[in-house]
Chain A
Amino acid sequence: MRRGARRAKPEGDGAMHMLDPLAGWMFDPLAGLPGDGMHVWAIATAAVVAAGCGLVGTLLVVRRMSLMGDAISHAVLPGIVLAVLAGGRPGGPLVLVGAVAAALVTVWLTDLFRTRGGLAEDAGIGVAFTTLFALGVVLATAAASRADLDPGCVLYGVLEWVPFDTVPIGGLEVPRAFVTATAVLAAVLVAAGLTWPLQVFTAFDPQAARAAGVPVAAVTRGLLAATALVTVAGFEAVGAILVVAMLVVPAASAELLTHRLHRMAAIAVGLGSVAAALGYLLAWRLNTNAAGMIAVVLGAEYVLCLLVAPDRGLVARLANNCWFGWRVRCEDELAACWRAEEAAGGDGPAPAPSVRGLAGDLALAWLAATGQVVRGPRGWLLSPSGRSRATTVVRSHRLWEAWLGRHAHLPLDHLHPPAEWIEHHLGADVRRRIEDEMGREASDPHGRSIPPES
């Protein structure tokens, strides 16, 4: 009721008005969803479409055929329109056949342009799909009076109308688009289940696959036909063009999260379905087009994956860098204490090393809190645990200087900087091997003794 009133209110222009409904939604995400299942059907349809697209898109992305997916999603249009003109119902078997035929024509044309016309592949794709799409739009416009095709829905679908066009199945009114999408998803799942090893082999090493007797051309053609099928299943829900977002974006997001292909497919299916539901709800709240919002949510998911992906995500990389910087800082402070003690010789504790800036203060505070240094009467003193760690760092440093001095023939004053870098990276094994090579009693080139392994 509240929501309806807001929707009916004439809005002024200005960007802020578009975001108004979001404010209420923050507190009550499901408020106002009618109970008749209309939205549930629309969301279910979008999710099933997204699942099929995610599965097929995974293979397209790893095979670097994303743009072929883009081309096919545009180029199925004339096939669909011709099939509808020939008496097929939108979403019916004739339309599916028409779409697959159009997709194969696209691929054939692109190949033809490349082999017979000397065109680069992307130029061939660009020519083929724009031409076929233009043909489809003109046909659809010309036939608008005879066929049930609105050029607008061709572009961005009408997910909101999906629940109104139903067929009775077992006493339940099921949206026709949902039936089509489910059938296509089932077919794609079965085909993927049967040919998955072949698809994987072809995706990662087509030459080896061909040599091993895999019918590479047929496998590729099957993938493109599957692309056409999921495209036409998504045609009514999200329109021809936004299918490309559903094909590529979840798969690319999933690729950031995992290195295993089957896991990538599963994640892509999940991401796609979640985006479908979220995008629909958002669009309904904001009173705008569902397909567009689904694409926007997919984009947000991709950015999120970029940020949080384990070990390659921006956050993970940033955290790694920070952690490493912190470790270097702590080890530098410990080594400075160690050298101060060495300089003071045996007679009494040394003054604290000069503390450099806030980071140095923090590092010393941390070392003190973890018991690696203790406050002495005249400065910081190493505790046994801190001394062991500091010895390792200084030992690495001096061993490396000694090794460089012998092998790299660097002047004395050039030995310190590389050792300052490497001292945080050398492992016990490398230290031992350098020591074996240099002789056990060796000192570093500056004449200072190399402390033994602690």
Chain B
Amino acid sequence: MIWLPGLPYNTLVVAAGVAAVGFAAGVVGSLGVLRKRALVGDAAAHATLAGVALAFLVTGRRDLPVLLAGGLCSAVVALGGLVLLRRWTRTREDAATAIVLGVSFGLGIALVSGITARGIPGGAGLEQFLLGHTAALTARDATLLAAVSAVAVAIVLVAVKEATLVAFDAAFAAATGWPVTLIDYVLVTLIAVMVVVGLPAAGAVLVTALVVIPPVAARQWTDRVGTMLILAGCFGVVAALAGVAVSAVVPRLATGPLIVLAAAAIFLASFLAAPGRGWWSRLRRQRAVEQAWARGRILSAAAAAAADFSRRGIVERVGGLGGGGRRLFDAAWGLLVRQSLIEPAGGPAAEGGHGGTDRWRLTTAGMEAAAERDRRMRAWSDLMESSPLDARALITIDLPDPAAVGAADAARRAAGEA
């Protein structure tokens, strides 16, 4: 790998520069994603190609700073065009984005192809800006990229409070006197800058992933903006380094797609495994609710039955358990037995040998639990008579503390909406 000794100094500097770009893109992109501007960067990114090609045509040199300055100019022009289209025409926002993206990219392709076809010296390398290739970067270029990234991060640090306010409640921000439009323009310009700086590494087509995927992955782990910024930056660094490393080993592969795939892997892991918002976590919470509900149904059925009852009888009483079926029943039953709320009719001593008898009874704790459930059930049905509620609210009677569960749910919903 690239951090092993023996690798050229240049490679190390380039890796560091690209890592800095990854960090800054994650930080800036987080604010963009929170402000629901995720795809603005895409239009800017596709537009950079035309600016890069024009800068090359005008100066005739393939200096990275010059080309990137050209790219930034065309990105800003494209974003300005987007604003004009949205404000002055009937074209809707999504179509306007697609128009700016498609047409400016077409212009870029035409320019680059024209340069290549004419064999202008140095023009062949321009195609590297399509998909990104860090092999051609020099240490000086990488230093420039890192410096611009540092400035972008510094601006975010200065304005993070304002940007957060605008992202979460633009109307409130405007009402309290913050210049929302100005903050938006600064944010979009920063995104454009990050897209341009990410160009050598990720290429015009895919660089938008740098400002979208790490923030979205970070969002899965936390509800705090500060944590999200740092996490997104770190994810960006990991993705960028992974892309550069693989591309260094297999030079045929462009860096951009590799960076994107690494970021996507991070996102997939976050999407599945993050606590709270992740897939497994949601699934486990849902299972826990179902389980508690099934146990409650069994307890109530047992309390309503004769002093000692058969397992088969309970199965018939609780019915299908809402499609949860036999597995849900077995799990709930097993847990009830383990919690000593139900025991074999012969007492705990008979547990080992009850074999085919299938006679069970509630323990004292089990009777108390069943009585408590009945009390809650009555409370709920009283409440529902006075004010009809969603019947699904009944589920909460089987959870430890309905009030706490309700509060937790509300908090989670609020976080989800934010």
For residue A316, which residues in chain B have a CB less than 8 angstroms away from its CB?
none
Is A388 at the interface (CB under 8 A from chain B)? no
Asked if B271 and A299 make an inter-chain contact with CB atoms under 8 angstroms apart, the answer reads: no
Q: Is the CB of B127 within 8 A of A152?
A: yes
A184–B112 CA distance with the chains assembled, in angstroms: 31
Q: Tell me if B114 and A18 are in contact (CB < 8 A).
A: yes
Judge whether A11 is part of the interface by a CB distance below 8 angstroms. yes
- The reply to whether A70 and B252 contact each other, CB–CB distance below 8 Å, is no
Is the CB–CB distance between B114 and A288 below 8 Å? yes
Which residues does chain A contribute within 8 Å of B416, judged by CB atoms?
A: 118
B395 within 8 A of A: no
Residue of A nearest to B123 (CB): A13
Are A117 and B271 neighbours in the complex by a CB distance under 8 Å? yes
Q: Closest CB of chain A to B38's CB: distance in Å?
A: 4
Pick from B38, B130, B264: contact of A155, CB under 8 Å: B130
B210 to chain A, nearest CB (A): 9
Given A13-B120, A141-B252, A245-B106, are A292 and B113 also a contact pair (CB < 8 Å)? yes
Whether A334 sits at the interface, judged by CB under 8 Å, is no
A1 contacts the other chain (Cβ, under 8 Å)?
A: no
User: Is A256 engaged at the interface, CB distance under 8 Å to the other chain?
Assistant: yes
Q: Does B209 contact A (CB under 8 A)?
A: yes
| B260 CB-CB contact with A under 8 Å | yes
User: Among the listed B92, B99, B103, B110, which residue makes an inter-chain contact with A288, where contact means beta carbons less than 8 Å apart?
Assistant: B110
Q: Tell me if A134 and B206 are in contact (CB < 8 A).
A: yes
Stretch of B54-62, B326-334, B348-356, B385-393 at the chain-chain interface: B54-62
Partner of A289 from the list B42, B99, B110, B216 (CB cut-off 8 Å) is B110
Q: How many residues of B contact A (CB 8 A)?
A: 67
Q: Are A123 and B216 in contact (CB under 8 A)?
A: yes
Q: Are A135 and B38 in contact (CB under 8 A)?
A: no
- Which positions 228-258 of chain A face chain B at CB distance < 8 Å? 241-242, 244-249, 251-252, 255-256
Q: Do A156 and B113 contact each other (CB < 8 Å), given the known contacts A13-B120, A14-B60, A122-B36? A: yes
Does B120 contact A11, Cβ atoms closer than 8 Å?
yes
Known contacts A155-B205, A286-B114, A306-B89; A242 and B109 CB within 8 A of each other = yes
Chain A 33-51: CB-based contact to B (< 8 A → 1; otherwise 0): 0000000000000000000
When distances are taken between beta carbons in the complex, the residues of chain A under 8 Å from B209 are 126-127, 130-131, 134
Within 8 A of A (CB), among B306-358: none
B39-58 contacts to A (CB < 8 Å): 39, 42, 46, 54, 57-58
10 CB < 8 A contacts A-B: A12-B120, A116-B282, A120-B33, A123-B33, A151-B131, A244-B98, A244-B101, A289-B109, A292-B111, A295-B110
- Chain B residues in contact with chain A, CB under 8 A? 33, 36, 38-39, 42, 46, 54, 57-58, 60, 89-92, 94-99, 101-114, 117-121, 123, 127, 130-131, 205-206, 208-209, 212-213, 216, 219-220, 252-254, 256-258, 260-261, 264, 267, 271, 277, 279, 282, 416
What 6 A-B pairs have minimum CB-CB distances, sorted nearest first? A295-B106, A245-B102, A292-B110, A299-B103, A292-B109, A289-B113
Q: A120-B36, A244-B102, A245-B98 are in contact. List 12 more A-B contacts (CB 8 A).
A: A13-B120, A15-B57, A126-B39, A138-B261, A245-B103, A248-B102, A252-B96, A283-B110, A288-B117, A295-B102, A295-B106, A299-B103
